[in-house]
Amino acid sequence: MSERINGHTILIGLMAYPIRHSMSPTMHNNAFAKLGLDYAYLAFEIDNERLPDAIQSIRTLDMRGSNISMPNKQKVLPLLDKLDPAAEMCGAVNTIVNDDGILTGYTTDGIGFMKPLADEGIDIRKHKMTLAGAGGAGTAIAIQAALDGVSEISIFNLHDETWKSAEHNVAVINEKTPCHATLHALEDRDDFRKEIEDSFIYTDATGVGMKSLENETLVDDPSWLRKDLIVFDTVYSPRKTKLMEVAEKAGVEHVLNGLGMMLEQGAAAFKLWTGEDMPIEYIHHILFDKDETK
């Protein structure tokens, strides 16, 4: 790393709080080094209060841009000059690009969701998706899928603090895209089953099944899942969630976890900053191959 940094090195940031645990600095700095790109990526602990100064510093320091994570994903919007359509519809930004002092906000989680499907030769356009969750991940997925041509999305959510976000997602998709979105209560199990049975793909963006909720799944009955249904769980730790086990028991052919989404959302930001493709397999090896049980 020290050999790479010189007087021309351009800075890219990550602004969030807390953020020291993030894998993004390892991801991007290894990708820059591998491709011989003269950038450095650093994490900065920035909360809502210090966000305006931090965003201005992107211009002042002539940084190439920054990733933005919680609690700043929504708060950053009025501080930017332009928004990509997906970021505007989501009302959230996870990537900023600085073009000569003009800051544009993007959201790459939805791109990260779509890419692993395409890589498996799965085209969900013109098909119906049932999606559980309307938090940050569920929102990005719903908006990108609608923009990319998914024909129908049935969004299921608990009546919790993210219900308003679910209502917003349905309204903005129906207003701004040809996709038809509907909102359903996750508590209505019969409706949930019916919509999954009627779908081409079922996506869980709730985090149920990740480490602290490891033995839980919203769908525990294999008879809900057809063999030709696509099942996508956004969780990547553990690699195989309870939902994925149920899907395998049902004989589902295409079962995806969130690892590809995590790598591809980073790769999409990397491409926006550098114009280059991230060496995904190499980065996968650096981040995960040492401990596949993580």
Of residues 31, 17, 15, the one with CA closest to residue 266: 31
Question: How many residues line the site for ligand NAD (CB under 6 A)?
Answer: 25
Instruction: Tell me the torsion sign for CA atoms 143, 146, 150, 156.
Output: positive
Can you list the positions of beta strands (E) in 121-209? 128-132, 152-157, 180-185, 201-204
Minimum separation from the CB atom of position 179 to ligand NAD (A): 19
CB 103 within 8 A of CB 96: yes
Question: Closer to ligand NAD at the Cβ: 57 or 241?
Answer: 241
Question: Closer to ligand NAD at the Cβ: 96 or 142?
Answer: 142
73 is catalytic: yes
Considering only the stretches 147-155, 193-201, 259-267, 270-278, report the one whose residues sit in contact with ligand NAD under the rule CB under 6 A. Answer: 259-267
109, with CB counted inside 10 A (0-12, 13-18, 19+), is buried
**Cα–chain-centroid distance for residue 96?**
15
Question: Closer to ligand NAD at the Cβ: 57 or 94?
Answer: 94
- Alpha carbons 22 and 12: distance in angstroms, whole number: 15
Pick from 53, 62, 123, 160 the residue near ligand NAD by CB under 6 A.
Answer: 160
- Alpha carbons 137 and 205: distance in angstroms, whole number: 6
Question: Closer to ligand NAD at the Cβ: 235 or 252?
Answer: 235
| Binding positions for ligand NAD, 194-253, rule CB under 6 A | 205-208, 210, 234-236
User: Which listed residue (73, 75, 115, 242) is catalytic?
Assistant: 73
| Binding positions for ligand NAD, 90-149, rule CB under 6 A | 109, 112, 133-138
Site for ligand NAD, rule CB under 6 A = 109, 112, 133-138, 157-158, 160, 162, 186, 205-208, 210, 234-236, 258, 261-262, 265
Q: Which residues are catalytic?
A: 73
